[in-house]
Amino acid sequence: AQSVSQHNHHVILSEAASLELGCNYSYGGTVNLFWYVQYPGQHLQLLLKYFSGDPLVKGIKGFEAEFIKSKFSFNLRKPSVQWSDTAEYFCAVKGGGATNKLIFGTGTLLAVQP
Amino acid sequence: NAGVTQTPKFRILKIGQSMTLQCTQDMNHNYMYWYRQDPGMGLKLIYYSVGAGITDKGEVPNGYNVSRSTTEDFPLRLELAAPSQTSVYFCASSYDGLAGGTDTQYFGPGTRLTVL
């Protein structure tokens, strides 16, 4: 069965610090990978996604993620965080099959201090 | 486009009561989903639908029912509410033109349900 692990449950950073959130998945076949963000009191929004091609994916608001197949990882990065990046971040994976189902990680709560 | 809309935003139920959470999308998406979100647990798929008239169970379907009579609507029914169903419920939709497609899921604003 597919699974997604986000090892950082709660991260606190100061503004301008660099961010890297870990995401590892377990699935041996072709995968599609996503990062979603949930700002306080809001619904989930797509940050970025990887389907194929260049393993370095750029998303909105200066976020990027790198797919490393050998490590089963899809870590999210941002060189310099802002207070407005305070949110919960979810990694998700879709493996084979026709149902388009996503498996979500448990989320990482990021708090950026001004 | 309004995207994915959900009603109500908040609801408090007593144990044993029933209710329906409404979800509507105006993007002509064929796939629709219901998730529940619990603190520290991420999102768990309750039910999903690949098109009108077709529904299937997700990871945590017990205590819930769904129907999909139209492309736009995907209501979630709780028949006998239990405290374990206290959660935030999100509806989502996506368009998948081919089997095994990879399109983005768009989420509604959520319904916060408390069962006392």
Domains and CATH numbers, chain B: 4-97 (2.60.40.10)
Least confident of B13-17, B76-80, B102-106: B102-106
d(CA A114, CA B17): 45
d(CA B80, CA B64): 9
Please count the other Cβ atoms lying within 10 Å of the Cβ belonging to residue B74.
29
Q: Tell me, what's the pLDDT at A96?
A: 63
Q: Which residues of A touch B108 (CB under 8 A)?
A: 43
d(CA A50, CA B71): 27
Q: Hey, are the CB atoms on A43 and B110 less than 8 Å from each other?
A: yes
Q: Tell me, what's the pLDDT at A15?
A: 96
Q: What is the CATH number of the domain that holds A61?
A: 2.60.40.10
Q: Hey, are the CB atoms on B102 and A32 less than 8 Å from each other?
A: yes
Give the number of domains in chain A: 1
Q: Hey, are the CB atoms on A100 and B43 less than 8 Å from each other?
A: no
The nearest alpha carbon in chain B to A108 belongs to B40
Q: Do the strands A87-94 and A108-113 form a parallel or antiparallel pair, or are they unpaired?
A: antiparallel
Which DSSP helix (H) or strand (E) runs through A110?
Answer: strand A108-113
Q: CB contact, 8 Å: B58 with chain A? A: yes
Picking from A9, A44, A51, the nearest residue to B107 by CB comes out as A44
Q: What confidence category does residue B98 fall into, taking pLDDT thresholds of 50, 70 and 90?
A: low
> pLDDT for B12-24, tens place per residue?
999 999 999 999 9
Q: Tell me, what's the pLDDT at A100?
A: 66
- B101 three-class SS: coil
Q: Which residues of B touch A90 (CB under 8 A)?
A: 42-43
Q: Are B69 and B57 in contact (CB under 8 A)?
A: no
Q: Hey, are the CB atoms on B100 and A98 less than 8 Å from each other?
A: yes
Mean pLDDT of the region A67-93? 95
Picking from A43, A90, A100, the nearest residue to B31 by CB comes out as A100
Q: Hey, are the CB atoms on B102 and A106 less than 8 Å from each other?
A: no
Q: Tell me, what's the pLDDT at A34?
A: 94
Domain that holds residue A38: 3-113
Interface test with B, best of A7, A36, A43, A52 (most B CBs within 10 A): A43
Buried (b) or exposed (e) across B27-66, using 16+ Cβ within 10 A?
Answer: eebbbbbbbbbeeeebbbbbbbbbebeebeebebbeebeb
Tell me the two tokens of residue B20.
């329906």
Q: Hey, are the CB atoms on B101 and A100 less than 8 Å from each other?
A: yes
